[in-house]
């Protein structure tokens, strides 16, 4: 038995689409304030203004893992002087989720289920999403009846049991498609609007890896290459300022590197200059590594992912040459 969250898409939340088929403003899905619904999503706090989380979603129509912003707009509790201060949860849509087709339409039903997803030996909970069009199919009628029978008003429903059509779509997607992580620029821009001291709370080991890999287009920042087979690659997300030194899971504290270069970076065999050129330690006797000396790493196109210069300096001062003092590797 599984737990599903159902949401019928509304006109206003989808941006009030006009006669030309285009929305007049940003698009999102409202989330009910019902306790059962809120427990389905990451917990957000009233105490933190506009608290937010990053939701990894696998839409069953594409199979990619798409990150979306889940935001609790709570200025009602933070001294807002607006006539109608906000107290609402929104799951923001983006082009990576919808494509250029504005896929979500009024009265379509979005169905979510949480799935434990393993990638690169790392497990996280993702939200599987089936978007069911308003086409009077038996599947749509079943979902619509669940919503109509739900005690949660406003086009919402929670269902405990099994939805055969959902599970069939999920099995077909997850067995036939290798998930690619996609992060829309609108997602990183919304993160940048988060208070600086709260941004680190958005990330953990799994999201750090996903964001770093996506920022570098799944290529090693040093070699510009990758070895891949299905979901397996030789890439890792290297911390610039190590976790053991207080480094954070922020994407600008990470660089995509192949495994051997990640190991060498952690040991201080090489570091980076402020302008992101490779500086190999003079005592390292490796023709392979020395071939990269004074070469620039690949720099992400989105500034959100570009390495933070303070972390680079920390690595240069505290990690570079560390192999000389540790006594052994």
Q: At 329, is the pLDDT very low, low, confident or very high (cuts 50, 70, 90)?
A: very low
pTM for the full predicted model: 0.92
Q: State how far the Cα of 315 lies from the Cα of 292, in Å rounded to an integer.
A: 18
| List of domains in the chain | 2-182 (2.40.330.30), 217-326 (no CATH)
Give the number of other CB atoms < 10 A from CB of residue 262. 20
What pLDDT, in 10s, does the model give residues 213-230? 999 999 999 999 999 887
Nearest to 174 by CA among 96, 95, 59, 66: 59
Q: At 195, is the pLDDT very low, low, confident or very high (cuts 50, 70, 90)?
A: confident
pLDDT over threshold 60, residue 172: yes
Q: Strands (DSSP E) along the chain, which ranges?
A: 2-8, 28-31, 52-59, 65-73, 88-92, 109-119, 122-132, 156-161, 181-182, 228-229, 232-233, 235-239, 254-258, 270-272, 278-280
Please tell me whether residue 5 adopts helix, strand or coil conformation: strand
Half-sphere exposure of 265 (CA within 13 A, CB side): 27
Q: State how far the Cα of 242 lies from the Cα of 326, in Å rounded to an integer.
A: 15
Contacts of 190 (CB under 8 A, 6+ apart): 52, 69, 71, 92
What pLDDT, in 10s, does the model give residues 257-293? 999 999 999 999 999 999 999 999 999 999 999 999 9
What is the number of H-type helices and E-type strands within the chain? 11, 15
Give the number of other CB atoms < 10 A from CB of residue 46. 12
Q: State how far the Cα of 65 lies from the Cα of 284, in Å rounded to an integer.
A: 40
Nearest to 127 by CA among 116, 138, 142, 141: 116
pLDDT value at residue 326? 65
Half-sphere exposure of 23 (CA within 13 A, CB side): 22
Looking at residue 308, the DSSP 8-state letter turns out to be: P
Q: At 99, is the pLDDT very low, low, confident or very high (cuts 50, 70, 90)?
A: confident
């Amino acid at each position: 038995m599984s737990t599903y969250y159902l949401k019928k898409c509304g006109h206003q939340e989808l941006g009030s689409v006009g006669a030309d088929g285009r929305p007049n403003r940003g698009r999102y899905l409202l989330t009910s304030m019902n306790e059962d619904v809120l427990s389905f999503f990451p917990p957000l706090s009233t105490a933190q203004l506009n608290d937010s989380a990053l939701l990894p979603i696998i839409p069953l129509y594409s199979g990619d893992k798409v990150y979306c912003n889940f935001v609790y707009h709570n200025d009602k509790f933070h001294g807002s002087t607006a006539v109608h201060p906000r107290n609402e949860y929104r799951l923001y849509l983006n082009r990576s989720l919808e494509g250029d087709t504005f896929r979500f339409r009024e009265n379509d039903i979005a169905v979510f289920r949480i799935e434990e997803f393993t990638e690169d030996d790392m497990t996280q909970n993702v939200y599987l999403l089936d978007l069911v069009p308003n086409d009077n199919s038996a599947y749509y009628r079943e979902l619509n009846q669940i919503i109509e029978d739900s005690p949660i008003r406003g086009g919402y429903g929670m269902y405990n049991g099994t939805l055969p059509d959902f599970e069939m779509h999920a099995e077909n997607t997850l067995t036939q498609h290798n998930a690619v992580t996609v992060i829309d620029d609108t997602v990183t821009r919304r993160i940048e609007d988060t208070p600086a001291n709260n941004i680190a709370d958005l990330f953990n080991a799994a999201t750090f890896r996903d964001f770093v890999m996506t920022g570098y287009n799944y290529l090693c920042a040093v070699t510009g290459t990758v070895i891949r087979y299905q979901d397996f690659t030789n890439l890792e997300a290297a911390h610039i300022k190590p976790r053991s030194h207080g480094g954070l899971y922020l994407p600008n504290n990470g660089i995509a590197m192949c495994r051997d270069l990640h190991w060498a970076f952690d040991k201080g065999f090489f570091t980076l200059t402020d302008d992101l050129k490779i500086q190999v330690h003079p005592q390292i006797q490796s023709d392979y590594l020395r071939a990269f000396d004074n070469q620039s790493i690949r720099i992400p196109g989105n500034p959100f992912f570009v390495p933070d210069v303070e972390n680079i300096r920390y690595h240069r001062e505290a990690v570079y040459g560390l192999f000389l003092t540790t006594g052994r590797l």
